[in-house]
Amino acid sequence: MSASAQQHNRQAWSVLIVSTWAFTVCFMVWMMFAVIGIPIKKTLGLNATEFGLLTAMPVLSGSLVRVPLGIWTDKYGGRIVFAAIMAATVIPIWLLAYATQYWQYLVIGLFIGLAGGSFSVGTPYVARWFPKSRQGLAMGIFGAGNSGAAVNKFLAPALVVSFGWTMVPHVYAAVMLGTVILFWLFSHHDKSHVVQGQTSFMDQLKALRDPGVLKYSQYYSIVFGGYVALALWMVQYYVGEYKLSLPVAAMLAAAFSLPGGVLRAVGGWLSDKYGAHSVTWWVLWVSWVALFLLSYPQTQFTVQTTDGPSTFHIGLNVYTFTALMFILGIAFAFGKASVFKYIADDYPTNIGTVSGIVGLAGGMGGFLLPIMFGALLDLTGIRSTAFMLMYGVVSVSLVWMFFTEVRRKDVFKPGSPNAAKPSAGGSIQSQPAGRVQH
């Protein structure tokens, strides 16, 4: 290996490591309302819908900025954009400790949410430092920064119990400031990674017309949007459903958040080895089964027997529930990686733009779902309606994948009557194994 190649390899791994750490901190900050939102809810007397909106506000702004941030990453490079958005969140995080009214929490939450846009910056930034055969693994390692949601569940409850919830923003602001400095010292910029000949913002958004982009957005709305929504919702779910204390509830909720973040790297490796389609197909099926079981509410019913009425109880105890959430977290981790392997394979020249659009869809799922969880809870009084809703979203994704990939793959496989069909111009069009043209 030449000296220049060795230097590039060292820089690539330095970029990957420091970017993963930075994304972990950003995600920890992005999810802070999952824990501190509970004492805030109690203080302000919020209902479930208002609590859902409170937790979702950072997700809204973090989602809306993903498209422009992805485009700016293509244009200016990931190093400057990543550092800028992290620096922009330090003051809002600190000010959160001094909010006293509901609207103030909502507004400050919007500014804090900029940290969530870091994903659409870091993904193309990291991917371009590695060859295509290793991009899935590299993006998976970077995406493991989602484990910041679990870090938040370990760190924030300890701070709340020891010092009160207002200490959390102070500590997180200091950590974010230190991360900005660390990132700038150990990251690098490569001019060859900047996309030349940038078109206008509106021209970039024409990718929305691509049916492949829309389909991947649907997949990501459940594997990432669902992950974010449940990461925000699970602590209060445990507190309400199983009457657990805040520290215990947060620790059990981490059984979903931690594998949902850390194992994303394994999902990237599997996607490199077996293909994005195969991994995503199995992810959706596992999620479908797990969500079906999680959807069943705590139920008591009475049956008239020969010996008189007998009452039975059906429902998930805390151990079974946590085990299913652990499985769901693993599935979502693999799915988040496989969706972005699709993007790296199909859109290598504008990963930033497409990842921004798909990330926006996933983030909007993470914004809307907690609000819908709260509305359904207020309407029905049944907490498991959250899982019923997500079960429906996964069903839509399975049907979409079946008709656009699985069924077409069978129709066009070698030996079938439609294996090679003349195009309008008379040429023969073929489909690579396991992939479908869009």
Query: Could you tell me what percent of the chain has a pLDDT over 70?
Result: 88
Assigned token pair, 434: 């396991």
d(CA 335, CA 182): 30
Q: Given the structure tokens 């078109």, which residue do they identify?
A: 199
Does 438 have pLDDT greater than 50?
no
Does 407 have pLDDT greater than 70?
no
Under 8 Å CB-to-CB from 88, ≥6 apart: which residues?
111, 114
Does 5 have pLDDT greater than 90?
no
Does 437 have pLDDT greater than 50?
no
Query: Could you tell me what percent of the chain has a pLDDT over 90?
Result: 46
Structural domains of the chain in order of their starting residue, each with its CATH number = 3-191+204-411 (1.20.1250.20)
- Helix 102-112 to helix 33-44 angle (10° resolution) is 170
- 226 CA to centre of own chain: 7
Confidence at residue 204, expressed as pLDDT on a 0 to 100 scale? 58
pTM of the full structure = 0.78
Confidence band of 314 (pLDDT split at 50, 70, 90): confident
Does 422 have pLDDT greater than 60?
no
User: What integer is the mean pLDDT of 20-24?
Assistant: 94
* Range in 5-9, 87-91, 238-242 the model is least confident about: 5-9
Higher pLDDT, 315 or 238: 238
* Range in 130-139, 152-161, 307-316, 344-353 the model is least confident about: 344-353
